[in-house]
Amino acid sequence: MNQPNDLILRTTTQLIAFLLLGFSVYLFFAGHNAPGGGFIGGLTTAAAFILMYMTYGYEKIKKILPINFRLIAVVGLLITLLSGIGAIAFGEAFLSQTSDYFNFPILGEKHLATAMIFDLGVYLVVVGITLTIILSIATDSDDDSNEDVGV
Amino acid sequence: MLEEFGDQLLDIVLIICFIAMTISIFLLVIRAFRGPSNADRAVAIDTMGINMMAITGLASIQLVTDKLNDVVLLIGILLFIGTIAIAKFIEKGVIIDQNHH
C-alpha cells in the first residue's frame, strides 16, 4: 500500500491536539455552574489522544504516551470511592459534598467544591475506559503476532 | 415602537430558521440512509453536524444566553475528528494503523 500524502492532517493535528487538551482542562474546571464537568472534559481529552493515534499510527504514540489506560480507569474509580468515603469520616452520609469560598493571594476569592475531587475521578475513568475500548477494537487482529499489542 | 417591532421580527426569523434547519436535517437523514456510496453518507453526516451547530447557535439567541458557546465549539471539534476518521476509513480501510510499511 502506498503511503498517502497527509501533510495537511499532520500539520493541523499538531495545533488541534493541544487546543483540545487545553479546552478539556477548561471544560473540567468550568463544571457545576456552566456546561462542563468531569465527563465531557474526559471525552475531550480522549478525543485529542484519538486524533493523535489516527494521525501518527499506534506504534509512534505508544512510544510517546507509555500509559496503561486500564490502570487510569481503576485509579479514577478509586479516587471517586475515596471522595465518597471521606464524607463518612466527617460524620455525613456517603457521597455528601460541600463547598466554600476561599481567598487566594493572586487569584482573589474562588469557589472551591469537594465535588471537584469526585469529578477528577470521573475524568480519569472516562479517559481510561474510552481509550481502552477504542484501542482494543482498533488493534484487534486475527494473526497471533499482534497478541502483545493489547492495550 | 421600533424595539417592539425588532423583537417580533427576531422571533419570526428564529422560527423560520428553526424550521429551515429541521427540513435540512430531515433531507440529510434521507441522504445518509439512501446515499449510493459511502462518501455521500460521510458528507451527509458532516453537514448534519454543521446544522446541529447552527441550531445550537439559534437556541442560544432565543434563550438569550452565552452558556451554549462551548457546546458549539465542542460539536465542531468532535465533528472534525469524526470526519477525519470516516475519510481515513474510506481511503485506507483502517483508522488507527498499527505499523508503518
Task: Express each pLDDT in B75-90 by its tens digit.
Answer: 998 898 999 888 888 8
If pLDDT is split at 50, 70 and 90, which confidence band does B100 have? low
pTM, whole model, 2 decimals? 0.82
CA angle A35/A84/A108 to nearest 5° reads 50
Q: Using CA atoms, how far apart are residues A75 and A85, in angstroms rounded to an integer? A: 15
Please enumerate in sequence order all residues whose Cβ is within 8 A of that of A13, keeping only pairs 6 or more positions apart, or say none.
Answer: A51, A52, A55, A56
Listed by start position, the domains of chain B span 2-92
Q: Which residue has the higher pLDDT, B96 or B18?
A: B18
Neighbouring C-beta atoms of residue B11, cutoff 10 Å: 11
What average pLDDT does this structure show over B28-37? 90
Distances (CA, A) of B64 to A144, B10, B56, B59, B61: 58, 12, 12, 8, 5
Q: Using CA atoms, how far apart are residues A22 and A17, in angstroms rounded to an integer? A: 9
Neighbouring C-beta atoms of residue B22, cutoff 10 Å: 12
When scoring B84, B89, B90, B95 by the number of chain A Cβ atoms within 10 A, the one with the most, hence best to mutate, is B84
A35, A54, A139: residue with CB nearest B88? A54
Sign of torsion over alpha carbons B44, B47, B53, B58: negative
Sole residue written with cell 434521507: B30
Residues of B with CB under 8 A from a CB of A: 67-68, 70-71, 73-74, 77-78, 80-81, 84-85, 88, 91-92, 94-101
Mean pLDDT for all residues in chain A: 83
What's the confidence (pLDDT) of residue B22? 94
B71, B73, B98: residue with CB nearest A58? B98
Mean pLDDT for all residues in chain B: 89
Inter-residue contact A115 to A97 (CB < 8 Å): yes
What would the pLDDT profile of A105-136 be if each residue is shown by its tens digit?
A: 777 777 777 788 888 999 999 999 999 999 88
What's the confidence (pLDDT) of residue A151? 46
B85, B92, B99: residue with CB nearest A4? B92
Helix ranges (DSSP H) in A57-149: 58-64, 69-89, 115-138
What would the pLDDT profile of B47-66 be if each residue is shown by its tens digit?
A: 999 999 999 999 999 999 88
CB interface of A with B, residues 114-143, below 8 Å: 134-135, 138-139, 141
What's the confidence (pLDDT) of residue A143? 54
- Residues of chain A predicted below pLDDT 50: 146, 149-151
What's the confidence (pLDDT) of residue A3? 66
Cell of A27: 471544560
Interface predicted TM-score of the whole assembly (ipTM), two decimals: 0.79
Q: In chain B, which residue's Cα lies nearest the Cα of A141?
A: B98
CB interface of A with B, residues 60-119, below 8 Å: none
